[in-house]
Amino acid sequence: MSHYDDVKACDKIDDTVKEFYDVRNADVVQALNSLDFYNDGICDGGITPIVRGHEIRGRALTVKIMPKNDKKPNYQGRSLSDAEDGAEETNPMNQNKGWKEDFGNVLHEYLDITQPGDVICVDMEGEAYQLGGDHLSLKSLLRGAVGMVVDGGMRDAFGIREVNFPVWTRHIAQKEPVQEMELVAINEPISLGGTKVQPGDLICCDDDGVIAVPKQHEDEVLDAAKGGYEMDVSLRKQKMNFLREEGVDIDIDFTPPSQRREVPANLSGVSEEVWEEVLQRTEEDY
């Protein structure tokens, strides 16, 4: 089955999310504008997909990660520019084995509560530090997430493309966040690209960007988006027919893109036993 068919068949995903798969992001924006939420709910264009060609919808699992106030001096490490021959080698990660507790393992707190069909939304205040990469994508996929939106950085762009996991991010970044950032909240209001996102809001992502539809307005937005999509298809068909009459060989598939795009998804989730094994092996790898 396709991702669209998997979503429609999944009893863990609510009907409203499923119906949003029947319209495009453009229709959702037009619907918001028609309801006088003019240009509202649209994350700024700096948050872009690592893997193009995906279109997902899901409930927001919100995460807030922000700069630390108490950065630990014993993570300074060495400086390449000041390196001297014969200088004692030190690995900042080895200077304080608690680095995982400070940042790495604490990320599992939100993965532990991720549900099938969730879009993990991470507010890092736009900082250019990497939250993770292909391993984080695989773990998120194991938990049943359909994608991630990160107002911060992600690394391993090639690896994420190999996994083919839908990720939207502000930066492709290399800097370690261990010293600089800390997890401060899960499932609290956050900001993504200047747009307020509440836990459970409906997140729509495609190549154009990210839209957050507030839960309390999603039904009226969906109705307006459906009407807009039907009108748009009618107008495009009309223009296509005019072109055909002029001898232009053109054939357009008017099926919503989300119904034609393949997204790796694990909508059944993973057993807690398997998840615990994943966490244990992750710890042993470091």
Q: What percent of the chain has pLDDT over 90?
A: 62
Best CA proximity match to 145, nearest among 174, 112, 123: 112
* Cβ–Cβ < 8 Å for 39, 55: no
Residues 6 or more apart in contact with residue 95 via CB below 8 angstroms = 74, 75, 77
Instruction: Provide the pLDDT for residue 151.
Output: 98
Identify the CATH number of the domain in which residue 133 sits.
3.50.30.40
11 or 81, higher pLDDT: 11
Most confident of 7-11, 64-68, 168-172: 168-172
Q: Count of CB atoms within 10 A of residue 244's CB?
A: 12
**Is residue 216 helix, strand or coil?**
helix
- How many folded domains does the chain comprise? 1
Residues 6 or more apart in contact with residue 227 via CB below 8 angstroms = none
Instruction: Provide the pLDDT for residue 95.
Output: 47
pTM: 0.86
What digits encode the pLDDT tens for the residues 209-245?
999 999 999 999 999 999 999 999 999 999 999 999 9
Q: The domain containing residue 272 runs over which residues?
A: 3-285
